[in-house]
Amino acid sequence: MINAQDIMAMEMKHEARTYQKFPVVAAEASGSTIWDVNGRDYVDLSSGYGVAILGYNNQKIMNAIMKQFNTVSILHSSIYNETRANFLEKLSSITPRNTTTFYLGNSGTEAIEASLKAAIKYTGRKHMISMRNGYHGKTLGSLSLTHSDKYTRSFKDFIYNGVQFVDYGDANAIRELPNLDEIAAVFVEPVQGEGGIIFPGNEYLKELREITEEHGILLIVDEIQSGLGRTGKMWAYQWSRIEPDIITIGKGIGGGIPMGIAAGTEEIMNSLKLGEMSSTLGGNPLACAAGIEVLNQLNEELLSEVTRKGKYMISRLSQSLSESRIVREIRGIGMMQAISLKVKFIPVLMNMIRNGVIPLYSGISIIRMLPPYVISDSEIDLAVDRIILSVNEFENGTGVTQ
């Protein structure tokens, strides 16, 4: 049997160095747990960067995929298919009123690309507004809407330059712009994920909706990380009781099969003409079969549990780390949470991994957590205990300290 070090060495030898690697070699996964090649268990608070919303090896999703695999597994969207039709019909029952026309791609960043093109075509305008600290993807179109200099600095001459960035959470920053009648769309995350789990409050999206409607601007809400129940509602924008013009969907929608969706009104989405946005694998039957089962499981009872478990986890973390010298804040909504630190996150994160918890991160000082919705209370307790141990090790000078 090949050992962990050899596996890591092979990946490092052959794979482009574009991914931050964690020192874990996964051999098996189920629910909220990953086991490495040595049988060590980890409570996974990353969900594969938000994809495994219903847990690893979800049996109903696996059954749906295998059933589809045995009928029609590969099919271009130029040919009609019952599974795709059923998925689209089911998806249209949970998206905002009138936003029942969909572009089907393979990733969230493709959904952003489609939305960007649709906004330009529909409005005839060339300028966009996006948010500081926001994240919308890394292809050149979506990258132009992403604020972080670490992602954009090497490609400044190639990304779309018609984007103005404003402060997130400050609607007046948009009101005060002099060229609002030239703006095609405002792109916004209801909760900034990559930005550190920042929730601007319910009034912010209401104000954006008012401004955009007044000036004929499309409001495009990026629900790739925050949607599909992550915050306790099907869509995070619902906390603000508004209706966007387009929402982008990704991560968990395909149950682990790559899928990204731009959902808009018929008029907006069909401003894109034949061939202006398509994908060889977009809308493939396997992804659609998995997507149907994902939507079947995202019921009110599960979303209620997301809210309850999220509050429980934040409460436990807040009580246990309230006296910590290095913890600045515990925050979050539903299964979208963050530990903001007064120190750089790397040693604390490495302690967490060494102690059997896999988190994510944001910026230089934030531990980000996107647990699967199916995580149990006992698994939350185990994860919190391991997080507390990891923080204490840093404070005591044991474990990884720098």
Distance separating alpha carbons of residues 159 and 144, to the nearest angstrom: 5
The count of domains in the chain is 2
Distance CA(184)–CA(121), nearest Å, equals: 9
pTM for this structure?
Answer: 0.95
Last residue of a domain, one of 262, 297, 332: 297
Quick check: is 401 in a domain? Answer: no
Provide the CATH number for the domain around residue 346: 3.90.1150.10
CATH number assigned to the domain comprising residue 253: 3.40.640.10
Pair of tokens at residue 115? 């939305």
Per-residue pLDDT of the chain (402 residues; tens, 9 = 90+): 679 999 999 999 999 999 999 999 999 999 999 999 999 999 999 999 999 999 999 999 999 999 999 999 999 999 999 999 999 999 999 998 889 999 999 999 999 999 999 999 999 999 999 999 999 999 999 999 999 889 999 999 899 999 999 999 999 999 999 999 999 999 999 999 999 999 999 999 999 999 999 999 999 999 999 999 999 999 999 999 999 999 999 999 999 999 999 999 999 999 999 999 999 999 999 999 999 999 999 999 999 999 999 999 999 999 999 999 999 999 999 999 999 999 999 999 999 999 999 999 999 999 999 999 999 999 999 999 999 999 999 999 887 655
User: Is 159 in the same domain as 273?
Assistant: yes
Judge if 233 and 284 occupy the same domain. Answer: yes
Q: pLDDT value at position 97?
A: 80
Q: Are residues 117 and 181 in the same domain?
A: yes
- 172 assigned to some structural domain: yes
Q: Are residues 275 and 317 in the same domain?
A: no
Report if residue 402 sits inside a domain.
no
Rg of the chain taking only CA atoms, in angstroms: 21
Tell whether 345 and 282 lie within a shared domain.
Answer: no
Same domain, 315 and 388: yes
The predicted structure's pLDDT at residue 330? 97
Looking at the structure, do residues 260 and 318 belong to the same domain, yes or no?
no
Q: Is 213 inside any structural domain?
A: yes
Cβ atoms 190, 240 nearer than 8 A:
yes
Task: Tell me, yes or no, whether 133 and 88 share the same domain.
Answer: yes
Segments forming the whole domain that contains residue 86: 59-297
121 shares its domain with 209: yes
Asked whether residue 320 falls in the same domain as residue 273, the answer is: no
